[in-house]
Structures are given as C-alpha cells and as structure tokens.
Chains A and B, each alone.
Chain A
Amino acid sequence: MTGVDTGAMRGPTLAARLGIDRSVTIAFGCILLILCGGALYSREFLSPEYLLQQLQVGAFLGIVASGAMMVILLGHIDLSIPWVVTLGAMMATAMVGWGGPAGVWLCIPFGVFCGAVVGVLNGLGVAYLRLPSMIFTLGMNAVVQGLMVLHTGGFAPLDQATEAMHFIAVQRSLFGIPNALFVWALVGAFVIYLLKRTAFGRAVYAVGNRESAAYLSGVNTNRVLIGCFAFSGAMAAFAGVLLAGYSNKAYQNMGDAYLLPAIAAVVLGGTNILGGKGNYLGTIAGVILITLLQSILSVMQMPEAGRQVIYGCVIIAMLLIYGRGAKARS
C-alpha cells in the first residue's frame, strides 16, 4: 500500500509543474523534426546564426501571440490585431514629429498606449455590451483601419522609425543575441508570472472555464475581460512598434500577416480555443514552429501557392493529432 501511493502523494510531477503536457511535447517534437528535415536540405539550418535570425523574426510573432493567448484563454478572440499592429507602428513614428525632442522618448510608450486604449474599448464592448468578441473586435479593426487611413492621408508628420526602435528591434548588444529576443523573453516572463502567480491569472482561467461560475465566486469578471483585451491590444501595438523599427518605417497593412499566425501559434501550443486551458510554454513552441515552417518553405523557394497549402495542411494535421474535442455524448 505505502509503496504504491507515494507517487500520487508527491503531487504533480516536474513535467506537469513546468506545463509540459502532450501538446507541448508534440509541438517541440515537430520543431526538431522540421529542423532535421531542413538540415537534410542544407547544413545552414542548424547554424546558430540561422537559428538566432529565426528567433528574432519569431519574437515579433511571439509578442503578438502573448496578447492573443490571454484573450483566447478567456474563450474570446481578438480580431483587431492586424490594424492595432499598424496603429502601434504609426502612432509611435508619428509621435516623433508631434512631440519634438520629447517625442523621441515618448514614441514607444505612446504607441503601446494607443494599442492598450483600443484593447480597453474592445474589452468594454465585450464585458458591458456583452457582444461576441469576434464581431466587436472585427468592427473595432475596421474603425482603427479608418483612423489610420485618415492619418496617413493627411496628418502623418513622420513615418520613420527612431534610433531606439531600431535598436530594440534589430541590433544585438549582448553575446550577439538579438535585442528583440530579450524583449520577447521579458514579455513572456511577465505573462508566465501573471498566469501562474497572481490572482488575476487564476481568474483568467476561471472566466475561460465558466464565466458564470467565476462571477458567482466573486471574481470581477468584467475587469478580467477588460484587462486581457487591453493587454492584447498593448502587445499587438508593441509588436507594431518593433516591426516599424525592423523595417525602418510604418506602412499600411503591416499587421495583416500577424493575425492568423498568432492564433495558429497559440492553438498549436495546446491552448483551447474555447478558453480555460493552456500554458505559455506551448505558445512559445507554437510561435517557433510557425516561424520555422514559414522560413523553411521560403528557403526551399516553394511558390506562395504551395506554401499556403502546406501551411494549412500542417496546422490541420497537427491539431488532428492532439487538439481534438470530446465526443458529443461525453
């Protein structure tokens, strides 16, 4: 009797404590598989330089996905990401022109702040108007698009990135590791802390599992909703600021390429799209997986048509392995 039960008495295993479950294991397994497959094609795929380059590109997606994950954990979705990314980039670069000398310092916080404002509005619509997040954030995306078209059409003083934005997005200051990677690591550490160590994080999972139960237990569910949407908006805008630094300017439609990969990365990482279940380690795996997949398909000079087909098929295939829902009768 004693010898049998000790395993259960010790509580969760180390793997479980770190959040390593089946989906995370499979996602990391697929990453290794892609790398090995790439190595057969060219030795370059295993060089540290190539991998760091991929992580740098992946950092932008990782930051967007961090915000998207918080919202998906609630069982909602943020479809305003594309234009909020652009909003962050455009507001940050424009601030330099508006603020003068102070603008150079204010540009990055201002860009992130604008994204957070849109996020709060999203949250208000979802929390107090009780509209489905899918449709409300969609409308918000259209409004932000309208504002940005107006902005670039007549009022944009500048669209060039500043030195600071270029510095955190492109340069490598420590051991040749890209600064963008450090930024992603900071964002990731913050999300992990929030989800694992704070009451807010517990409330996020609670709302995602059953909002009415969370409400009856005394959780201020509306505040949780608004907080997560604000975080998602802020992170999308922050990624936009970094992208502006990366490509040296802000331009329209720069965020279009981030919505679907961000959602796909979160879901491939084992987060349930209906909310309530998922961990950040999975999202990291998902982001790296998507980035590597995109990179390898382009290195192999696969035409865009084939890239899209393979991309879609891989997502479906991976989810069929581990993302399946329960049967109706259960």
Chain B
Amino acid sequence: MSNWRYWFAHNAGVLTAVVLFAAMFTLYISNHSAGLTPAVATTAANKAVLLALVAMAQTLPVLTRGLDLSVGMVFVMANCIASVIVVGTVGEGLLGIVAVLLIGALAGFINGAIVVWGRLQPIITTLATGAVYYGISLFVRPGPGGDVQSDIADLLTGQVFGVVPAALVVLFVVVLVVWIPYRRSVLGRAAYAVGSNEQAAYMSGVPVQKAKLLAYTLAGVLASIAGLMLTFNTYSGEASAPIAGTYTLNSIAAVVIGGTSLFGGWGSAIGSIFGAFVLRTIEDLLFVFDLPPLWQPLFQGVVLLLAVSLGAFRILRVRNRLELFS
C-alpha cells in the first residue's frame, strides 16, 4: 500500500500530463468530423512525435540541472543534412541516417564538452553553439528544398498493420532503446544525482563529468532523430530559425508540463513526451473548434502560460518561507 502511494507521489507530474492529454485528445476526437480513424491518428502522431522527441532531448540536460537551448537548432540541422544525404537506394538511405545520428551526437557532445571541460554555463553555451549549428544548416541548405529516400519515409510516417501510426512505434522504440537503458544505467542515475546536488554527487564519487557529457550527447542524438522524422514528413529540408526557436521553446514547456523540475534531479522523459502531446493537442483543438485564426496565437499563449503556472502549486506545500528560495 505505502509502496503504491510512494509510486503515485513520485509520478504525480507525469500522471497529470497523461490525464490532461487523455482529456484533451478525447475532446479533440469527439469533435473531429471523421472520428478516430487511422488516418487522423497518423496525422496527429506524425506532428506530435517530432515535438515529443525534441522534448525528450531537452529532458536529459534539464535533469542534470542544465539546459539545452540548441535542441531546436540541432533538430533543424539534422533536417537539412538529412535532406541531402538520406537519398538514393534504401541501403544508402540507412547509411545516411546513421551519419545524421552521428552528426547529432557530435553536436551534443560539443555542447557537453564545453559545459564540462570549458566550465561555461549551459544556457549561454548552447545559445552560442545553437548559432553555429544554424549557420551549418544554412550552409548545407541555403534555400528550402532537397529530397529524402521515399521508401524509408513512407514506412516511418505511415501505419503499421494499417492501424498503428508508425511514428508512434518509432517513439516507442526510442523509449525502449534509449531512455529506459539510460535511466537504469549508472550514468543515468548519476545524472539525477548531479541534478539534485552536484557538490554532494562529486563528493560521493559519482562520475559527474561523464554523466553530463552523456546527457548532452544523447540530447543531440534524440534531437537529430526528430530532425530525421521531420525530413520524412516533409520530404525536404529547410534552415528555418523560427522553426528551431519554436521547437526549443516548446520543448522547455513540454518538459515542465511533463513534471520535470527545471532545477534538476527530478522528472522523466516519459512525462516530457506527454507534455509534448498536450501542447500539440492544444493546436489541434483550436483547429476543430474553428477559432478565428487571429485569436489562435493568443489562446495558445494563454494556455501555455497557465500550463507552466501549474508549477506554482508547490508554494502551497511549503512550510517554511526559506524553502521558497531554492
């Protein structure tokens, strides 16, 4: 019994996001003219998985009490590079995918290396490296365009067995192959320790530097997976600073909605996935309720502000005012 209550309290943030998403998605489907057909689900999934992957990427540095403001830029860079090298036969395409993932890992590793060995603040580091990655995207693809290996693209953006959206399967595989092993590994647990208290973690012999390096590197990998998925969806690449900025900012919002603390050491990538789904469903809801287009940005902004303000409930639990200043 106490075990169950402990689990519940521990995952309250994630559960809130799941419930919020379930409620909103039900509302969306019940007001959609076509209902829940595989086509509707696939369209929704294809859009939502992009942000979910970027939000997962953002979660890892946030858990170490860092931040990655370059996830959006790595996402766009992967998109641009993929639109150049993921072409040709299926084999060449797969080779291109591996190359894009390696480039993403390298970009993340550079962030981590500057934060760990350069000892610069993550915010300002990733702000600057973000500019570099955007420059590289522009260099690779000065104007929108390009192509992508269509067999792989159709496979990953269509449906499995005609029912399940393939993008969701991709997301599930990423969780199984990347997140869960990471969470259970020594370095994954070290990341939580570093986020809670870096001094104490260092004193206890936790591999602080390796944990941070791995967190940023994996963030680069996850962001580049999202970039690949974007390429498969659009069949082209575009070096767009607004897209990168939107994804970076929404990824932070998704992380917060998913119950991860921006102060580090608390939360999970699963929560971020549902946080991302919530944000995406808001946009879809605006669409089915036929809100005048001019009002949509305001509505989205207000919902975003309210959603992140949910975190303010913690001040009700505070017994000593000094606990507020953390």
Query: Residues of A with Cβ closer than 8 Å to B?
Result: 77, 79, 125, 129-132, 134-136, 138-147, 149-150, 153-154, 210-212, 215-216, 221, 256, 260, 263-264, 267, 273-274, 303-313, 315-316, 319-320, 323-329
Contacts and interface: CB of A to CB of B under 8 A. Distances in A.
Interface in B282-315: 294-302, 304-305, 307-309, 311-312, 314-315
B128 A305 contact: no
Nearest to A135: B308
Contacts, number: 170
7 contacts: A134-B262, A135-B262, A308-B132, A316-B114, A316-B129, A323-B121, A326-B119
A273 B256 contact: no
A312 B295 contact: no
B75 interface: no
A11 to B, nearest CB: 32
A113 B136 CA distance: 40
B147 interface: no
Contacts of A154: 294
B305 A143 contact: yes
A306 B120 CA distance: 23
A319 B114 CA distance: 10
B299 A308 contact: no
Interface residues of B, number: 55
Given A132-B263, A134-B252, A316 B139 contact: no
Given A154-B294, A305-B138, A329-B202, A77 B123 contact: yes
Contact of B297 (A145, A215, A319): A145
Contacts of A77: 123
B34 interface: no
B213 interface: no
Given A273-B121, A324-B119, A143 B298 contact: yes
B43 interface: no
A316 B252 CA distance: 23
A131 B123 contact: no
B325 A144 contact: no
Contacts of B91: none
B118 A324 contact: yes
Contacts of A140: 305
B325 A215 contact: yes
Nearest to A326: B119
User: Among A142, A143, A215, which residue has the most Cβ atoms of chain B within 10 A?
Assistant: A142
B127 interface: yes
Contacts of A145: 297, 301
Nearest to A211: B325
B90 interface: no
A126 to B, nearest CB: 11
Given A135-B256, A142-B297, A215-B325, A312 B309 contact: no
A147 B139 contact: no
A141 B138 CA distance: 26
Given A146-B301, A324-B120, A325-B121, 12 more contacts: A143-B298, A144-B301, A147-B298, A150-B297, A264-B127, A267-B124, A273-B121, A310-B135, A313-B132, A316-B118, A316-B128, A316-B129
Contacts of A256: 245
B124 A273 contact: yes
